[in-house]
Structure 1
């Protein structure tokens, strides 16, 4: 699975599969026999044609947001180590997903350059401080949490007001609309 810090699970990428007819199969269910719960999986290596799973012929990048890569990569099952399928080279798929993430970032509201630089500096400084002076790092983190809570509440309020005409918030945050609304709610619920 591939993720970015900013988008997390909303844009979690993974190898997806296609069947010979070009369709994307549904998850495979496994009966463990011990309860009414059936385990399901959509991991690409499950679709090897065994245990009633359909046989995948191609891989393509996929994202939790619903995006699917245009490039299809032929899947040669003779090249897959069934004991360690995670060692199979999915570099091309990840590169396709990386391009999708770059496209999402390009459509999102840009951060002011000076703020982006400052955030990077704070991240580096806190990382170093955590090892060198952990109590000082914790004091700084406490102050940042307060700043984030206060500014987050105000930003969420103004974003809601700006979107009062029904315009979508998601694209500006680079998120599907549902996740964007949850993010706003998270900030408005902090007291």
Structure 2
């Protein structure tokens, strides 16, 4: 899986396709620990062993619903059973990075002076953290109080005039992550 840098952007992974172009469902693996049998969608599990489907191609996919148009053949003779992460997945990775850039480019820009302040704050917190974690904790508490007030008010106002999809796009986020963020802000006094 690919996690976004910084904000809660789209989370991606490798998706697989069968020979007929269909997307297989999860692979269920009985762990022998009760009635629950978990399902997994890691690409290397679709290797045709046992009763698993055999994937012939992979592509980048994202939790936001996007799927890469380009697909890449899987050469199962080159996939190491115990180290599938060594297989060349650079094609889907590049597609995913391109998708992430597109999502971030669609976000509302942070004013340049504020972006500079945030960058300075991150750098300063990193410097302080090495020697004084209590001071870092105090600074974060101050930031939390700003988020409590400003975040709840902004979230309430945004929800009055924008859809969840518009808010997620503005944040460079997925709807799921944006909704969770707004719900967290809703616990505060203005919503």
Answer whether contact 2:64 2:175 (CA < 8 A) is retained.
no
Q: Secondary structure at the match of 1:31?
A: coil
Q: Which residue is equivalent to 2:8?
A: 7
TM-score, normalised by the number of residues in structure 2: 0.89
Structure 1 position 55, deviation (Å): 0.6
Q: Which residue is equivalent to 2:179?
A: 181
Structure 1 position 171, deviation (Å): 1.9
Residue by residue over 1:64-85, the C-alpha shift from the partner in whole angstroms, topping out at 9 and shown as x without a partner, is 1111111111110011000111
Q: Secondary structure at the match of 1:145?
A: helix
> Which structure 1 residue ranges, 5 or more long, are not aligned?
none
Alignment of 1:30-109 (within 5 A): 30-109=29-108
Answer whether contact 2:165 2:175 (CA < 8 A) is retained.
no
TM-score, normalised by the number of residues in structure 1: 0.89
Q: State the aligned residue count.
A: 188
Answer whether contact 2:57 2:73 (CA < 8 A) is retained.
yes
Higher RCO structure (Cα 8 Å, ≥6 apart):
2
Residue by residue over 1:120-153, the C-alpha shift from the partner in whole angstroms, topping out at 9 and shown as x without a partner, is 1111110111113333222222211111211111
Q: Which residue is equivalent to 1:119?
A: 118
Range with greater deviation from structure 2 (11-20 or 126-135): 126-135
Instruction: Give the root-mean-square deviation of aligned CA atoms.
Output: 1.9
Range with greater deviation from structure 2 (144-153 or 178-187): 178-187
Residue by residue over 1:99-126, the C-alpha shift from the partner in whole angstroms, topping out at 9 and shown as x without a partner, is 1111111112111121112111111110
> Which structure 2 residue ranges, 5 or more long, are not aligned?
none
Q: Secondary structure at the match of 1:132?
A: coil
- Runs of 4 or more, structure 1, over 4 Å off, are none
The separation in 2 between residues aligned to 1:135 and 1:14, in whole angstroms, is: 37
Q: Secondary structure at the match of 1:102?
A: helix
Q: Which residue is equivalent to 1:16?
A: 15
Q: Which residue is equivalent to 2:129?
A: 130
